[in-house]
Amino acid sequence: MRLSLRSVVFLVALLTAQSVCACPEPTMDWSPNPVCVGCQSVLTLDYTPVSGYEVTYGPWVDYIAILPTSNSPTANGVIYNNVTNAVVDWSDPGFCSLVVTSKLDWFCASNNTSGTSTNFSVKPFTVVRMETFKLTDATNANNSKQDTTDSDATPTNNILYLAEDTNGNARVILNLTMTPTNGNAGSLFKWQISGSGWSPASGDFSVGTITSVWTDAGGAVDREFTVTVVCNCGAGGDCVNCTYRRMLKITVIRVDTETVATVPANRSRTKIGIGEEVVCSVVPSMSVNWSVSGGGTNSPATGSSTTFTASKNPSTSTVHAQVGGADCTVTFAVVAPTGMITSLTSDGSLGSPGTNNIGAKSFFDCWVLPNDVSFYKVKFQENIPGESYTWPDGTGGTRPSVIVPWGVGFDNKTTDTVSSGLDPVARIFNGTNYVDFTYGVRVPEEYKNEAGTWVQWLPGENHPRDYRASDRKARTKLEASNTAIGGWMGPWQ
């Protein structure tokens, strides 16, 4: 077959084009990108092998430059180029493009040809600098700390104090500002909270602002933490070339309470009696400012602990432990006496047995209610108004008005003596028969409040005296929130 000159020329051109297209070409890869200020981006040169071709030299960097883009600000760095490789130390944040021309020399043995392949690349870059790292109390936006320094210095005076809430939690908001702000490169920086109890305890800023919650698991728990932000753009996450860091500390505080009264057994209770004392201590131990709202006092005003003394008025009082911007509180329900239960302790004696006189004397244990608090600091009194009554024989009887002060211990207990004294047996003879007879003695109970005013709290207390005609015996009772009854006794000489 004979070919025309035109056909031969076409085939030669086609073969030549195929040969050029099939020769090895340089390839380029930059890493990392995006990248942090202070870190390096490394250019890796390689080529695509082609069967029948030998790369005789290269690939190498023929030209490299940093060019601005239409976005602002413009990133900058220092290029280190050793022909076979290139490194950029990034010094300024922003946007740019790296323009690179790379080449390699090749030889094709099959047709004894050689040549040079060229690759031209324009790679957009985002270079990000961490600016302000801020921790904010999730319950109080005014309580925050921030770090803007580039060194990894220990933040001795940069501690965010958080108050543990009644559910045993504390919440912190983590936020990192970056330049450029529209770089969408939050994943470049990773954060971590040392110690246990936080969820989440680590992550990056790809989602923007993060809220982490600490939970008191009970027992010996971590309460002092270091929060660190580091560059996350290097191989495996940590950038070995970056010294830019942010670091803050968190301390979670709690107020523990212990009543001075050892009874009731629950000394950590927050329901207390009027006037009751509670020792409040901050955990972990440190000096804080103490104060009280809602009534009551505390002393001292500063230190790791204070003693709260409840008001002598029923109230809701809150003790505040303040340090930094944190206000850790514990609230007490302060209650007044509401009643009194009683029981017979023993019966007494009014002399020697006989037939002339009647009367009774008994001892009663009494406990002020409620019994889940203590009233050991309260002043009580019986404000007895006095009584007038008439015996069955027509004789008038009286009980004088009298004030009887009394108090209780930690257990709210006191002992009351109810005695009728001695009266002639003839008092219960009505001229025809001996008859049963009873008279009562009203004993309203009062306590002294914060203003020094006596407040009645058990107006219906009564101490009856019973006399029995059949055997001339007598007994006493104590009627409060319940009734306790003494034994029948007498008659007496």
Residues 6+ apart with CB under 8 A from 35: 41, 90, 125, 126, 127, 128, 188, 233
Between these two residues, 21 and 354, which has the higher pLDDT value?
Answer: 354
Question: Among the CATH numbers 2.40.128, 2.60.40, 1.10.10, 2.60.120, which is that of 260-335?
Answer: 2.60.40
Tokens 């009082």 sit at which residue?
317
Q: What is the pLDDT of residue 153?
A: 56
Q: Quick one: how many helices (H) and strands (E) in the chain?
A: 1, 41
Which range, of 68-82, 340-354, 361-375, averages the lowest pLDDT?
Answer: 68-82
Average pLDDT over residues 69-98: 93
Q: What is the pLDDT of residue 181?
A: 87
Specify the amino acid at residue 50: V
Q: What is the pLDDT of residue 38?
A: 85
pLDDT of 235 strictly over 90: no
Which structure tokens are listed for 368? 């002020």
How sure is the predictor about 223, in pLDDT bands with cuts at 50, 70 and 90? very high
**Dmax over Cα atoms in the chain, in whole Å?**
169
pLDDT of 156 strictly over 80: no
Between these two residues, 241 and 65, which has the higher pLDDT value?
Answer: 65
List where CATH 2.60.40 sits in the chain. 23-127, 129-253, 260-335
Contact 288, 321 (CB under 8 A): yes
Question: Residues of the chain with pLDDT > 70: what percent?
Answer: 92
Q: What are phi and psi of 46, to 5 degrees?
A: -155, -170
How sure is the predictor about 282, in pLDDT bands with cuts at 50, 70 and 90? very high
pLDDT of 117 strictly over 50: yes
pLDDT in tens, 409-427: 999 999 999 999 999 999 9
Average pLDDT over residues 147-164: 79
Residues 6+ apart with CB under 8 A from 129: 36, 37, 38, 92, 93, 178, 179, 244
SS3 at position 425:
helix
Counting Cα atoms < 13 Å in the Cβ hemisphere of 300 gives 7
pTM of the model: 0.84
How sure is the predictor about 9, in pLDDT bands with cuts at 50, 70 and 90? very low
Rounded Cα gap, residues 493 and 487, in angstroms = 18
Rounded Cα gap, residues 47 and 200, in angstroms = 44
DSSP secondary structure, 236-305, as one string:
TB--TT---EEEEEEEEEEEEEEES---SS-TT-SEEETT-EEEEEEES---EEEEEESS-EEE-SEESE
SS3 at position 84:
coil
Q: Around Cβ 453, how many Cβ atoms within 10 Å?
A: 11
Tokens 């002043």 sit at which residue?
379
Pick from 493, 483, 489: nearest CA to 466: 489
Counting Cα atoms < 13 Å in the Cβ hemisphere of 99 gives 6
Which structure tokens are listed for 333? 């329900």
What fold, for 129-253? Immunoglobulin-like (2.60.40)
Residues 6+ apart with CB under 8 A from 492: 350, 351, 352, 353, 354, 356, 357, 358, 359, 422
Rounded Cα gap, residues 296 and 278, in angstroms = 11
Q: What is the pLDDT of residue 234?
A: 61
Rounded Cα gap, residues 98 and 153, in angstroms = 34
Q: Measure CA 458 to chain center.
A: 41
Q: What is the pLDDT of residue 224?
A: 95
Which range, of 16-25, 343-352, 420-429, averages the lowest pLDDT?
Answer: 16-25
Which range, of 11-20, 126-135, 248-257, averages the lowest pLDDT?
Answer: 11-20
- CATH code at 23-127: 2.60.40
Tokens 């007879």 sit at which residue?
437
Pick from 33, 39, 26, 32: nearest CA to 84: 26
Rounded Cα gap, residues 32 and 237, in angstroms = 10
Rounded Cα gap, residues 356 and 153, in angstroms = 96
Average pLDDT over residues 220-242: 76
Q: What is the pLDDT of residue 116?
A: 97
In whole numbers, what is the pLDDT of the chain averaged over residues? 92
Average pLDDT over residues 96-121: 96
How sure is the predictor about 84, in pLDDT bands with cuts at 50, 70 and 90? confident
pLDDT of 243 strictly over 90: no
Which range, of 46-60, 214-228, 270-284, 381-395, averages the lowest pLDDT?
Answer: 214-228
Contact 137, 109 (CB under 8 A): no
Contact 55, 24 (CB under 8 A): yes
Q: What is the pLDDT of residue 173?
A: 98
Which range, of 47-56, 96-105, 237-246, 467-476, averages the lowest pLDDT?
Answer: 237-246
Rounded Cα gap, residues 374 and 262, in angstroms = 9
Residues 6+ apart with CB under 8 A from 432: none
Contact 30, 123 (CB under 8 A): yes
Specify the amino acid at residue 117: S
Q: Around Cβ 260, how many Cβ atoms within 10 Å?
A: 17
How sure is the predictor about 10, in pLDDT bands with cuts at 50, 70 and 90? very low
Contact 325, 309 (CB under 8 A): no
Contact 347, 487 (CB under 8 A): yes
pLDDT of 196 strictly over 50: yes
pLDDT of 175 strictly over 80: yes
Rounded Cα gap, residues 126 and 95, in angstroms = 5
Average pLDDT over residues 297-302: 98
DSSP secondary structure, 40-63, as one string:
EEEEEEEE---TTEEEEEEEEEEE
Is the four-CA dihedral 348, 351, 355, 357 of positive or negative sign? Answer: negative
pLDDT of 3 strictly over 70: no
